[in-house]
A = this chain, B = another copy of it.
């Protein structure tokens, strides 16, 4: 029985979702009506029977702590292993590590003490539903040092500009990692690696003053190390901007897109909130929308996503918008192309209209 440990490395995830990341890191941004971005990464691990997960957090991680607790919603509140949120702990003046290697170095106990033989390292911006046991199987068969996961995308949307792309030979071996805007093999910011090999690379990177483990320790060693490419073919959304967030939110209104991310056999788990079922009043008119529990809807909602506990009064109109937890939309308010963060309140009769390509975003706890 091969065991895998997981590392969710948030160190390179810029907080680029504008108002949505004013108060939280992007991993904690709400998505798809009832989830946070990081739920996908953690659920994928839990569904792959990974029972030891470290989260390398650096900035604005408090809402992450609130959300993850000790991992109980993923059955990761364990004595052995479990979920660890690892914020910075750089009090050792003799520590010479830099960048994300500070995390790897400071938390080397996580790697050395785990009973797992393999480690999956991933970010949270590539939303997907992947089974790492399959990745491991292919990794072992390939005999590679590292196996990276990529998605062959059909269209090179703007969000892929910042992603690395892979050149792959006929044996699925990676021959180059670069930023070529015409390559559609998008590296998904996740890889699997043998624990001891990872440990050696970390030591070596620190000794050489590296500051970015993937770039310096893996990409930079091509072609000396054997990198295998695992093609992920399921549902995928890269969210690294308000625009990509907004577009992928609406993609979920398509049933087949939705079902590629949410599967019965590998469910995406999240913190349980015990909201009542949503209530649709006599006056409500809801069309083509995703609605989480705890909402009370009296107005019109179309082509939109309502998170948990949203109140929409009679006469209010919401179109092409994402409305997060516990927002209240008073009667006769009109919202179009808007993203409201948590706990916003839109008063009677107010109108907010953004552009379809650039939604109007309101930070949390605003009253307008």
Contacts and interface: CB of A to CB of B under 8 A. Distances in A.
One complex includes copies of this chain to the number of 2
22 contacts: A22-B91, A23-B89, A23-B91, A23-B92, A60-B91, A62-B86, A62-B87, A62-B88, A62-B89, A63-B89, A65-B85, A65-B87, A69-B70, A69-B77, A70-B70, A70-B72, A70-B77, A72-B77, A77-B77, A79-B272, A79-B274, A87-B87
Contacts of A86: 62
Contacts of A274: 79
Interface size class of A (residues with CB under 8 A): 20 to 34
Contacts of A62: 86-89
A88 B59 CA distance: 11
Nearest to A82: B69
A63 B89 CA distance: 9
Interface in A77-123: 77, 79, 85-89, 91-92
A326 to B, nearest CB: 12
Contacts of A85: 65
A85 B60 CA distance: 15
Given A62-B86, A62-B87, 10 more contacts: A22-B91, A23-B92, A62-B88, A63-B89, A69-B70, A70-B72, A72-B77, A77-B77, A79-B272, A87-B87
A272 to B, nearest CB: 8
7 interchain residue pairs of minimum CB distance:
A62-B89, A70-B70, A23-B91, A69-B70, A62-B87, A22-B91, A60-B91
Interface string A1-44: 00000000000000000000011000000000000000000000
A313 B89 CA distance: 33
Most buried by B among A85, A87, A91: A91
A85 B88 CA distance: 16
A351 to B, nearest CB: 25
Interface in A187-218: none
